[in-house]
Chain A
């Protein structure tokens, strides 16, 4: 019951926050210098004042900002995200075509980062001052510190040119489309570099977190008790200690969805991954307001969903929160 109430409260909060995000994005985007009509008129090689005025009227840009905002919010309320100035298509269609690819990439990268990061952290926690532990620290910090597009380009050159074993463009072979298991393999191969690039940033954080928490857990009383009972080491580490190590990692991972999307924008551009990343980038450059606002809205929606889900998982995993005991 308390769980359901909590969930309902979270959802109400999220809706209020989404409206705030919509308004804030609208204001921010309209504060940027230049407007879409300027971009379009530029392509015309010097349009007349009448043409420019007609374009502004067509897109409703001749109205006051408040009017534009209220019309926009009204439209969004009924699921109408407007028409892309640039692609001359309904925005919703554009986004829905690309959203799955972004979700797919981010979820794969997140899963990989969680699995690899936790494993590295746990292993290095066994001998915190060993060579392996130091190596993990150095490599993962390098992955964390390097700009993501640079890491992407490096991997692109390494596995695309120097040692050309992986595709570096797109999501699947479109020239000779594969079927059945060959198709699965093909998609998997296309996924390796973009998801690895994105995962590298997060592996560092999760391995550090896992290492610190594992070291702490291994010196805890309940682990000493488990060992005293004569339980095998793999069970002590893999069950008793790992469970408490995972809680903070899951929390951090869930709350990092926003960063994950920001990283995806860059990774998608480097590897021509057909997701929303490139759309964000191009929409900013073209001041394609409707597309940009819709992309930001959906990103916010996903980040909030991820946060709520994390919160719920956290409550399920950690009985202390459920029962209110600390």
Chain B
């Protein structure tokens, strides 16, 4: 309909446009609207069946969840006003707020919570997240009891808005396949905002839900999310005030440019929960990389400091181990592999790979994920010159696109590869998959593609997954991190930089561990933008 009008009027418009007044078009409609630009296009709006940032951002606005988190990893009441974990760790009881309603007016009850948890368990890509849940009991409308097969300390984090949207059973429980449910595009939740409009590939509009159960919130009337297909266009438009927020900015140059803009605040807070790690992975079953000394030698030659400070313009945080440094479970006391070419050469000699007449020891290939030059390709190219210093010839293999790279790596058809894998908060959700022997799955990317296998590591991860004492759990993960770093199935490089930029004048910026993937009900304009 709209398009048809475009057709009729386009030609006139084109002529008229040339005569239009040369004033920049401010898209900020002032008042109480937030205009967000993002390159992340959601498939739909149901985070119960879909992972990833693109869906998590709107999901956290449309749906409420049992808990939410602050910037210190502490759970806060949300749909659950209080909760108890049984001493044996085999059940979690949620006491729901009494006055929460869905956007269609139906009250939120324990039935909805039970339905949603089982639906997420059955459909969400993160299969380990709710694996421990056996069933959910609903003794009364305001109480839900999760019965567990084994203790699951990661469960409380899985109750975050980005991971556990509470769906209305009367809408989604009609027997249709949840992954293709029509309501995924016309969602009904109990979160602070309602989805009022979605134009595929163009924009979606979220409007304030008047009956949101937290009094006085949300503070904004409307959030318009414009889907931008080119990051340059997003950056330029943000600078000139067309948008008031741009989340998930990854390029050092863009970050640098926006940090210099007088009208913006640029922050790297709000991704701690995601913990996106960028690393160099080894195929540990392939000669000569099956020898731990060779992997250590490469780690000593790699020079993380140079990569982070120079190649990434100082915008990335170094990562020393498998758990992202912002996590309370991160262990800082691991071998940092400070650059040391002498040590590197000695390790290679000890492993039986002496330099030949031409000065080289052996040749390897390195792959990288196409499309992320700063984090992937540049580092791969740089590795070639670094490893040359210690007599290793490295050939960089480009892949035309992601599926080609995924095909190679998941079928173990590689020597070294750059990779980016997310922690997703708790190690059980996003870390274990990379190291468990049971997760060596040919043909499946982001499983244990290094084919790394260490019974001690398996044991530690399994024990930590069910350990209810926080201190003991941290100790188990510390040991796990020390082993993995010393055995180098992966050389950890950095946390992928994801910055958020906001227009000055916004208050209560979303700096919690989930950042823009948490409810924006407290965000408000201290100084409304000019219309």
Q: Can you list 11 residue pairs at the A/B interface with Cβ under 8 Å? A: A52-B444, A97-B201, A161-B236, A167-B237, A169-B226, A171-B202, A174-B27, A184-B9, A188-B13, A189-B25, A278-B229
Q: Are B14 and A42 in contact (CB under 8 A)?
A: no
Known contacts A164-B240, A185-B13, A185-B16: A46-B401 contact under CB 8 Å: no
A286 and B406 alpha carbons, distance in the complex (Å): 11
Q: How large is the interface on B (under 10, 10 to 19, 20 to 34, 35 or more residues)?
A: 35 or more
A172: chain B residues at CB < 8 Å are 2, 6
Q: Is B397 positioned at the interface, with any CB of A under 8 Å from its CB?
A: no
Query: Smallest CB–CB gap between A276 and chain B, Å?
Result: 10
The majority secondary structure among interface residues of chain A is helix
Q: Are B44 and A88 in contact (CB under 8 A)?
A: yes
The contact of B6 among A35, A100, A279, A286, by CB within 8 Å, is: A100
B125: chain A residues at CB < 8 Å are 43-45, 47
A170: chain B residues at CB < 8 Å are 202-203, 226, 228
Which stretch from A120-128, A246-254, A263-271 is at the chain B interface?
Answer: A263-271
Query: Smallest CB–CB gap between B522 and chain A, Å?
Result: 22
The majority secondary structure among interface residues of chain B is mixed
Residue of A nearest to B436 (CB): A46
Known contacts A104-B10, A184-B13: A52-B443 contact under CB 8 Å: yes
Contact flags B417-453 to A (C-beta < 8 A → 1, else 0): 0000000100001100100000101011111100000
A157 and B201 alpha carbons, distance in the complex (Å): 23
The contact of B430 among A45, A101, A175, A270, by CB within 8 Å, is: A45
A49 and B205 alpha carbons, distance in the complex (Å): 39
Residue of A nearest to B30 (CB): A176
Contact flags B1-21 to A (C-beta < 8 A → 1, else 0): 011111101111111111010
> Taking beta carbons and an 8 Å cutoff, which residues of A are in contact with B?
32-35, 38-39, 41-49, 51-52, 83, 86-89, 94, 97-98, 100-101, 104, 108, 111-112, 153, 156-157, 160-161, 164-165, 167-176, 181, 183-189, 191-192, 195, 268-272, 274, 278-279, 282, 284-287
A181 and B16 alpha carbons, distance in the complex (Å): 9
B230: chain A residues at CB < 8 Å are 156, 269-272
A155 and B52 alpha carbons, distance in the complex (Å): 33
A46 and B449 alpha carbons, distance in the complex (Å): 10
A108 and B445 alpha carbons, distance in the complex (Å): 43
> Taking beta carbons and an 8 Å cutoff, which residues of B are in contact with A?
2-7, 9-18, 20, 22-25, 27-29, 33, 35, 37, 41, 43-44, 51-52, 125-128, 179-180, 184-185, 199-203, 205, 224, 226-230, 232-234, 236-237, 239-240, 242, 371, 401-404, 406-408, 410, 424, 429-430, 433, 439, 441, 443-448
Known contacts A174-B226, A270-B230, A274-B202: A165-B24 contact under CB 8 Å: yes
B126: chain A residues at CB < 8 Å are 44-45
Query: Smallest CB–CB gap between A127 and chain B, Å?
Result: 27
Query: Smallest CB–CB gap between A115 and chain B, Å?
Result: 11
A318 and B373 alpha carbons, distance in the complex (Å): 53
Among B6, B239, B407, chain A packs the most CB atoms within 10 A around the CB of B6
Residue of B nearest to A51 (CB): B127
Q: Are A38 and B9 in contact (CB under 8 A)?
A: no
A185: chain B residues at CB < 8 Å are 13, 16-17, 20
Q: Are A169 and B443 in contact (CB under 8 A)?
A: no
Among A94, A101, A169, A268, chain B packs the most CB atoms within 10 A around the CB of A169
Query: Smallest CB–CB gap between A291 and chain B, Å?
Result: 12
